[in-house]
Structures are given as C-alpha cells and as structure tokens.
Amino acid sequence: MTSTDQSPQTRADRATAKRMRRFDNPWLNPKLIWGASLLLFIIALGILGRFVWNLDLVFTGSTPLKLPPVGFENLRRQEGVWDYPLGTDGGGRDILALIIMGAPNSLFVGMLASLIGMSVGITLGFTAGFVGGRTDDTIRILSDVMITIPPLLILVVFQAAYGDVSLTMMALLIACFVWQSPTRLIRAQVLSMRTSGYVQMAQLSGASTPHIMFREMLPNLVPYLFGSFIANVTTSIVTAVGLEVLGLGPQRIPTLGRTIYEAINAGALIQNLWWWWGIPTLLLAVMFIGLLLINLGLDEISNPRLRKLS
Amino acid sequence: MTSPVLTMKDVSIDFPTPAGIVNAVKSLSLTINPGVKVGFIGESGSGKTTTALAIMRMLAAPGRVSSGEILLGQDKTNVLTLSEEEMRRARLRRVSYIPQGAMNSLNPVMRVENQMWDAIVAHEGKTDLATLRSRSDAALESVGLPARVGRLHPHELSGGMKQRVCIALGVILTPELIIADEPTSALDVVTQRQVMETLTEVQTRIGCGLILIGHDMGLMAQSVDELAVLKDGVLVEHGTTRQIIENPQHPYTKDLISSVPLVGGETFLSPAVAAPASQKTGPEPLLEFRNVTKRYGNVTALQPMSFTLEGDVPQIISIVGQSGSGKSTMGSLMLGFNEPSDGQVLFEGKDISRLSTSEALGFRKNVQAVFQDPYACFNPFYRVEHALKFPFKRFGLSQSDAHTQTAMEEACQAVGLDPDLILRRYPHQLSGGQRQRLIVARALMLSPKLLIADEPVSMVDASLRASILKNIYDLKDKYGISILYITHDLATAYHVSDYVIVLYHGRVAEAGPPKEVIGNPQHPYTQLLIDSIPWPDMNRAWGTSNRFDAEAHLAKAEVQPTIYRGDVDGFNLSTQFA
C-alpha cells in the first residue's frame, strides 16, 4: 500500500481511502459478513441448543400452559419462569425448544430445495445454451410455462391430497418450482459466453465440450450461481412456511410455520399470547434479513465495476 | 488578437485509489483561441479524456481537480468555482461534448428531434414547437443530414449518421468550445472521413474552439491546427500541427508519428532474412477454398470464392475490407467455427467439416488464430499462463511441467515480454498490448502451420501496433508459419503481405500483390479506401475537399467486376462474379 507516503489531508479523504482499501479484498464486504453472521446465529442456535436444552419439552403437555417469557405477565397474571425462558404455548410446549428444533428445519427445507433446484437448473441451462435447436426450445418453453404457474396453488392441492409429508419430501416438492429461474439465467449466460473470446480460444486449444463447460465457463458463473442460490433459498423458505402456516407440510415435526399455524388456530392473537406466534415470526424475519444481506453482499462482490477497482 | 475561449492554468487532476493517489494530469497549461482546432493526442491513460471531462466538470468520482484554474470564454468564467446549476447552464450552451460512442449516447426510445428540443428547452426555457422544429431541422441540415432524420429513432440510423446527429446536438446552441472525444474511433475509414469533414465544416462556420481527442496521429495531422501531445498526464509538446509533424522535439512525439504506417512509406519491418523452410508436410495445398459461399438467411456474407494456398513457402495473405465485407466470415470459415453454405474448406486436402476426432485435434493444432479483442481472449478466472499451458499440454507437445515452463518463457521472450512479470498475473492486470503479445506467444508455442490473424491490432494503442505486427511477421519469417491477415487497415497490409485480397460486400473487388493493389489501386472501392486513410502528411488534402463523393464511388464499386492485378507463386484465387 503506497497511500501512506501521500498522507491524505482531509477527513473525507481518509474516509475515501478507507473505503477504497476495502475493495482490496472483496469478500470483506460488510453486508455479506452481517448476513452470514445472522444465518450462523440461527444455525448455532439449532446445534448448540440441542446440547444445552431439554428437547423433550416440544411434546404436548410437557410444560404448564401459556406461560409468558421471563419478565412478562400473561392475562392470568402468571409471571414467566426461568424454566421456560421464552414462555410456553397453549398445548404445553416450550417455545425455546420449539424454535431450537424448528428453525434449522425451516432452513434445511429451504437449502435442500434450492440445492436440488439449482442442480436441475445448471444442468438444463447448460444443455439448452450449449446444444441449442430443439432441445433449447423444449427447455426454454418448459421453464417459461412453469414460471407462470403459482407454486403455492399446486403445492396446497398436492399436500392436501398427500397428507403428512417428511421434510425431504417437502423440499423435493418445492424444488419442482425453483429450477426455472436458474435455468433461464444460466442459459442466457452460456449463450453470451459461447461466443466470447476465451471460449473460442479454448476451442482453438482443442478443448473438449465438458472442459469448456466446466473449466472455462462454470468458474465465471460462480457469482451468479451464488446469488441465484441464495434467492432460491429465500423463495423456498417462504413457500415452505406458507404451506406450514396453512396447516400443511410435516405434521409431526416442529417447524416455525407449524408453530405459527397452531398459534393462529388456538386464538393466540385474541388471548394476547404474542410470544407464541411472535418469536417464530421474529426468527423468520432474522433469517430473511440475513439471506437478503448475503445476496446484496454477493451482488456487490460479483459486480464487475467494483471488481475492476481492486 | 481575440481573447482565448479556454485558458487552463496549472491544472492537476487526482484520483484517489487503493494504491494511493494517482495524478492523472499534472500541471497542464494551455490556451485555445476561437476558431482554432486543437488535437489532444496520447495513448490510453495519458489523461486526455480526463482533461476534457474536467473542463465540463464531469469527472467521475472520486477524481477531482486538485489545483489550477480553468477559465472559459471571453468573460473568463472559472468553471471550477461555478455552482452545480450555473455549470448545468454552461454545459452545451458554452461547452459541448461529443462523446466517443455516439451509438450509445442517444436515447433509443426518443426521436432524434425530440432529443434536440430537450437541449434547447433545458437552456432557453419553453419554446414553441414551430421554432423548435425549424431549429432542429436547420441543425441537422448543417451536418449534411436531411431534415427527415429528425423524425427517426436512433436505431434507424447508421453509425456515421448517429455521430453526425451528435455533432448537430453539440452545435445547436452555438457553443464557444466543442470537445470531441475520439468521435470517429468506432467508424470505418470512409465514414470517418465524412464525419470529420462535417465536424470541421460546422466548427469553421460557427467559429468556436474545438478540442479533438484521439490517438491516431494521421487523423490529427489531417484535421487540426494545433497539437497537444500528452504522456502520463504531462503535456510534453504543444505547437502548430505542421511544426510538430515536420519537426517533432520530444522522443514520444517522434514515436507517435513514426508508428503510423504509410502506404508506400518506409517499412517498419526489418528486411527479410532468408525465408525458413515451411512447416508444411505432404504434397496437398495447405488451405483450399472450393467455391465457398456463406449465407446468413437472405444475406450473402461471402460470394462463391475459390483459392489455394500452397504453403510451400510461408506467405502472408491479407484480406482487407470494411465491416460487413465478409472478411471475418472468411476467418471463421477457415477455423471451422462456421460451416460454409456451399462449397468446401480443405486443409491439407481434407474437408475440415468432416474430420475424425483425432484429425480434428491435429487440425486445431495446425491452424491457430489471433483475435481482435485482446481483452476477451483470456478467461478472467485463471492466470494468463493458463491460455498458454493448456493447449500446449492438450496437443501433447509438453514432455514435462518443466518443459512447458521453459517453452512458455521462451515464447514470451520471443515477443518481447518478461515471463517473470507476466505469466503469473491475472488478465485484468495486463494491458491490451501485453495480452495481444501473449496471444502471439501462444501461437508461437504451438507452432501451427497456418495462423489466422483477425484484426490483431485494431484494439491496441497506435504506438504498439507496429511492434505487435512485427511479432506476427516474425512468425512467418523466423518460424515459417503461413498467415492470413484479416484487417481493415490497408497501410499495414501493404507492408506485411505477399498478396492482398480486397473484399467488398462479400465479393473480391481487387486482388494481387500489395504494391499493385494498394500502391496503385484500380478498383473504385480500393481507391476510395485509400483516399480515406488519414496519414501525417500536411500537404495532402484530406477532409477539406467539398464533400467527397463516397456514394458515387460505392455505386461504381457495386458494378465493377473483380480486378486481378497479378499473381504470386503459391497462391491462386478465382471467383465467379455473381
């Protein structure tokens, strides 16, 4: 760093210099760091919670009913107790135990669905962009048609007919509706990259098609893939929670959405049991803000205009 | 003596960057008198555009003028102390800016005349429609465009027309100073000449000052009165154009002048040593076109063409033409990136679209290319050595990693690059010239039999062109590689090639040895091209003739059959005139 020998005069200059230095390592992006910390907090809650908290408290009737969090009173003038720091619900379940079990479950469904969707999207997108012709037409039309179908509608019908599902099954079902946008994104990128100089150079170098696809093109797609992956995780979680709040989705496994569903069903709003629905909602909000920040951060990192500054 | 339209005193411009403050322009002083055309010349990064933007107060953040003053006009307004609103009023009315890429500076969803009206209304307030229309029509007519162009949208205009619309926009409020930032760099030579004529004509009529920014010494010599040579942000030389062209003082100016290749001038290549043996094996001709035609839909990009390149002695065949002439189509046909609509492309007697897998690999090894855009040729994900190492291993030339490393280092040195500094870097850390040399080094490492060089120097700074062409020429001279040189630049083709083909609308207009075809053109199209090249010769009337009749020439070129100007051994061309 040579800026030290020309020491900046004003405060604004120093602030600029500091901002510029941050571009040296694009991964030290404040948005990305904050977003990742929020998500790590939720994951840590899920992992550490299993060791320090008694998870048997998620079973119905294992605690007194409708206790408020510590420091609050419920309508029956009961004080919160440290045995159940975040309160209990109307079925005698501990809220803390519920979110320790439920939050990672929601995140897991989102991640898995997005991962499957992305894999399908990458494969189809590359195939469409590379093979072209009929194959391209088929894939393109299929994904365009699928984008217009509202996923919640189909999933509600499907799950209502199917009854209880496992988390994995639910992720699979949601994955059916998140592969379209990565497909389109990658197809477009592949089409423009195919005529780029370095791909032509690789062709001249006698590179095989898999080499061009995976060694020349894919690395340059990584920022897009990350962004698309995070966006898909968000969509998947929204879909999953939406289904759970409607009372669909897994019946026997605690999830954040299902907790909210039960709170609504039991009239928690009228009884002023705000912690029952409020704490899971807050946790979902933290999760979404974390994902959004990660997405914004990655966007800045992969933005070529910012990369050029380094 | 009237007072100057622009006075710059000790202007310095700084850009704070992560690696410290960059002084883009260092204490530059200059005055521009009314009616005088001043050329700012220098290579990219020399601060010429930065200076112009500073005059408009349009420097991109975080750049800023750190010292000095810029005084505009008779009343000596210091533009650096104007408020944002005063500056807005001064832009276009007092200083106008004609940008480099006119194609991107017009609003695609607005009719041309509406954009001109916007400019008038923004500066003069509400004006009635009839006045607006008459003024925009007059402005368009002043740049040689019919008034109906105003009713069109930008996408309906050609590149040259759009550039002229930008000029019309720039002069509609009769400013005191026009800044034209490489106004013709995206245009071909014929259009360039027309646009430059328009610009000087308009400037003379309204009598304003003109700053022309560019890197082409030839164009400068033909169009401006005074020259300011910039190097690394320092004004190294300033004087009248004649003075600078005929008696340059600074070594950098001398370099700039000598780097412009002249038709018929001294060659920039070292005299040919004894040609080495060709790389060729077997009796079949190296490359053969059999009645090759290429059509895209209804458009015929290449009319039926046949030729054989024997390749017994390495030769450089130049294919010259403007954009859309079919020259790049020929290049991609030869590389097998594109299949001909009719006819066959044969390499060593084998049709290249019907090769087995192993033959295809051999073909790839033997036919290599240098492309136009040195920025796109490297995968930004890898260090640059990837582009050299991968094909070397892929074609089985590498015996060991150490062998690859030595081969890479030798190739770099052969093109004048320091391997220790270059090979471990990422593409964005290298300049365009360095990258293009690396691509030449790559071709050298693979030692192909045939090299297709598609506009290898058109995106490289003028001062580096000669040395890169020399590198390419050495491939033929020292390593016996036959080269197909595709270019729009007749002057370089004149020097490097053994045979020249001039293409026009997918047809061969004129073909033969360069001394004949370029030195003494017979075909109207070739004549037009050569007339349009600007070069640093003060006594040549370029851009001052009364609207030279390009259209008439082109109309004649359409019907004129191919003119053959003699043969060279080892290359036979025949076409059917359709």
Look at residue A7 in the predicted model and tell me its pLDDT.
47
Nearest chain A residue to B362 by CA: give it: A206
**Residues B541/B186, Cβ–Cβ less than 8 Å:** no
B62 at A interface, C-beta within 8 A: yes
Look at residue A308 in the predicted model and tell me its pLDDT.
43
How is residue B332 written in tokens?
A: 């991609």
B209 pairs with which residues across the strands? B177
Chain B residues lying within 8 Å of A219, measured CB to CB = 379, 381-382
Look at residue A6 in the predicted model and tell me its pLDDT.
45
Q: Does A187 or B17 have the greater pLDDT score?
A: A187
Chain A residues lying within 8 Å of B375, measured CB to CB = 197
pLDDT at A8 over 50: no
Mean pLDDT, range A15-44, rounded to an integer: 76
Q: Is the peptide bond before B304 cis (omega within 30 degrees of 0)?
A: no
**Residues B484/B319, Cβ–Cβ less than 8 Å:** yes
Of the candidates B308, B303, B354, B328, the one whose C-alpha atom is nearest the C-alpha of residue B450 is B308
Q: Do B381 and A219 touch (CB under 8 A)?
A: yes
How far CA B134 is from CA of B138, B140, B164, B199, in Å, comes to: 6, 10, 18, 21
Of the candidates A170, A175, A146, the one whose C-alpha atom is nearest the C-alpha of residue A158 is A170
Chain A residues lying within 8 Å of B21, measured CB to CB = 3, 6, 8
**Residues A121/A179, Cβ–Cβ less than 8 Å:** yes
Look at residue B162 in the predicted model and tell me its pLDDT.
87
3-state SS, residue A67: coil
- Rounded to a whole number, what is the distance in Å from the CA of A137 to chain B's nearest CA? 20
Nearest chain A residue to B335 by CA: give it: A204
Which residue in B384, B390, B397, B404 has the most chain A C-beta atoms within 10 A of its own C-beta, making it the best mutation to test that interface?
Answer: B390
Look at residue B281 in the predicted model and tell me its pLDDT.
66
Nearest chain B residue to A197 by CA: give it: B377
User: What is the percentage of chain A residues whose pLDDT exceeds 70?
Assistant: 89
Domains and CATH numbers, chain A: 28-305 (1.10.3720.10)
**Residues A90/A65, Cβ–Cβ less than 8 Å:** yes
pLDDT at A5 over 50: no
pLDDT at A289 over 90: yes
B396 at A interface, C-beta within 8 A: no
Note whether ipTM > 0.85 here: no
Q: Cα(B152)–Cα(B111) distance, rounded to whole angstroms?
A: 5
Going by C-beta distance under 8 Å and a sequence separation of 6 or more, which residues neighbour residue A157? none
Q: Cα(A200)–Cα(B532) distance, rounded to whole angstroms?
A: 33
Helix-strand-coil percent breakdown of chain A, rounded to 5?
A: 70, 0, 25
Look at residue A310 in the predicted model and tell me its pLDDT.
39
Pairing of strands B450-454, B367-370: parallel
Q: Cα(A178)–Cα(A111) distance, rounded to whole angstroms?
A: 11
Nearest chain B residue to A310 by CA: give it: B18
3-state SS, residue B561: coil
From first to last of its 578 residues, what are the pLDDT tens digits of chain B? 568 888 888 889 888 877 778 888 888 898 888 889 999 988 777 888 888 888 888 887 778 888 888 888 878 888 888 888 888 888 888 899 888 776 678 888 999 999 999 989 988 888 899 999 999 999 998 888 888 889 999 888 888 888 889 989 888 888 889 999 888 877 778 888 888 888 888 888 888 899 999 888 888 888 888 999 998 888 998 988 888 888 888 888 888 887 777 776 666 665 555 556 666 666 788 888 888 888 888 888 888 888 888 888 888 999 988 877 888 888 889 988 888 888 889 988 888 888 888 888 889 888 999 888 888 888 888 888 888 889 998 888 888 889 999 999 998 988 888 888 888 888 877 888 888 889 989 988 888 889 999 888 877 777 778 888 888 888 888 888 899 999 888 888 888 888 999 988 888 888 888 888 888 888 888 888 888 888 777 666 665 554 456 677 777 777 777 888 777 777 888 765 44
Q: Do A206 and B387 touch (CB under 8 A)?
A: no
As assigned by CATH, the class of the B6-258 domain is alpha beta
| CATH number at B287-375+449-523+560-575 | 3.40.50.300
**Please, which pLDDT band fits residue A114 given cuts at 50, 70 and 90?**
very high
**For the segment A47-57, what is each residue's pLDDT rounded down to a tens digit?**
898 888 888 88
Q: Do A24 and B18 touch (CB under 8 A)?
A: yes
Q: Do domains B6-258 and B287-375+449-523+560-575 have the same CATH topology?
A: yes
B393 at A interface, C-beta within 8 A: no
Q: Do A310 and B18 touch (CB under 8 A)?
A: yes
pLDDT at A17 over 80: no
Look at residue B210 in the predicted model and tell me its pLDDT.
92
Q: Do A197 and B365 touch (CB under 8 A)?
A: no
Torsion of CA B113, B114, B120, B126, to 10 degrees: 130
**Residues B221/B233, Cβ–Cβ less than 8 Å:** no
**For the segment A118-143, what is each residue's pLDDT rounded down to a tens digit?**
999 999 998 898 888 899 999 999 99
Look at residue A76 in the predicted model and tell me its pLDDT.
77
**For the segment B466-520, what is each residue's pLDDT rounded down to a tens digit?**
888 888 888 888 888 899 999 888 888 888 888 999 988 888 888 888 888 888 8
**Residues A254/A58, Cβ–Cβ less than 8 Å:** yes
3-state SS, residue B478: helix
- Tally helices (H) and strands (E) across chain B: 21, 22
Question: Domain boundaries in chain B?
Answer: 6-258, 287-375+449-523+560-575
Q: Cα(B37)–Cα(B30) distance, rounded to whole angstroms?
A: 13
Torsion of CA B259, B263, B269, B271, to 10 degrees: -150
Task: Please report the number of interchain residue pairs, chain A to chain B, with beta-carbon separation below 8 angstroms.
Answer: 85
**Please, which pLDDT band fits residue A9 given cuts at 50, 70 and 90?**
low
Q: Cα(A14)–Cα(B253) distance, rounded to whole angstroms?
A: 38
Q: Do B364 and A308 touch (CB under 8 A)?
A: no
